Amino acid sequence: MHSTMTNFSLSDEELVKRCQKELPHTTAAFETLVSRHTQRVYRLVYQVVHNKEEAEDLTQEVFLRVYRGLRGFDHQAAFTTWLYRIATNCALDALEKAQRRPRQLISLERARSRSRSQEQEEDGLARLASPMPQPDELALRNELRECINRVLRRLDRGQAQVLLLRDFEDTSYDEMTRILEIGLSSVKMRVHRARLAFQQYFGELCGKMSQVLAQVQRKRTEGERS
């Protein structure tokens, strides 16, 4: 208990050194690393799998890889650099595996036409902003997420990685320079190019983004008024 309390004041790198001395017999330092980073790793992988159980399994997989690799960690890079590389790779591996599974969701076009038949002017994706989605709306949300994942799969892994970090997980550019081990202007340019590629593929696979966004924002405004 005392050692766990003491560990909280240590940096990640100090904790890694402690792990390298103490594992597998004492896990207190490792537990501190886990509790410090679990939430972000979990959120990051959840953005891709959209399922709590799968997200937990993947988060466990990330920390298992960390556990197995700690002995060989050479402190050349920051611990977070290593950790978030493992996490984004696990998330993107899961994305590729999901691609090989048969699709069960409704198609975006069918979702749209069904939605239009119910409410003529209403684009189905606009319902994304609804705080309490109906089953039909949930299917549409899922469809958009699946569509976003299809776009992510079309990107090269480096582009998908920077988008996951910046636009899915809202990682700061400064932190991204440490994770990616490149300069600030290079990070910004990578993010910019990745967004352009995302926009292009979204247009090809999911429809016009400006229309989707306009509907999302309109719905949100309506929700705020009511």
Partner 1 sequence: MNCEELQQLLPDLVDGSLPPDVQAEAELALLDCPQCRRELEMVRQVRTLLLAIQAERADLQVPAGFEARLLARIHVEHTALDFFDLSSRALVQWLIEMMNLLGLLLDPGAYSRPA
Q: Which CB, 92 or 128, lies closer to partner 1?
A: 128
The residue within the footprint of partner 1, chosen from 188, 205, 207, 218 (CB under 8 A), is 188
The residue within the footprint of partner 1, chosen from 48, 63, 79, 123 (CB under 8 A), is 63
Q: Which CB, 4 or 118, lies closer to partner 1?
A: 4
CB of 202 to partner 1, least distance (A): 8
212 forms part of the interface with partner 1 (CB under 8 A): yes
Question: Of 75-83, 89-97, 114-122, 188-196, which segment contacts partner 1 by CB under 8 A?
Answer: 188-196
Tokens coding 62: 């990330």
Binding mask of the shown chain, residues 133 to 152, with x at each position contacting partner 1 by CB under 8 A: --------x--xx--x----
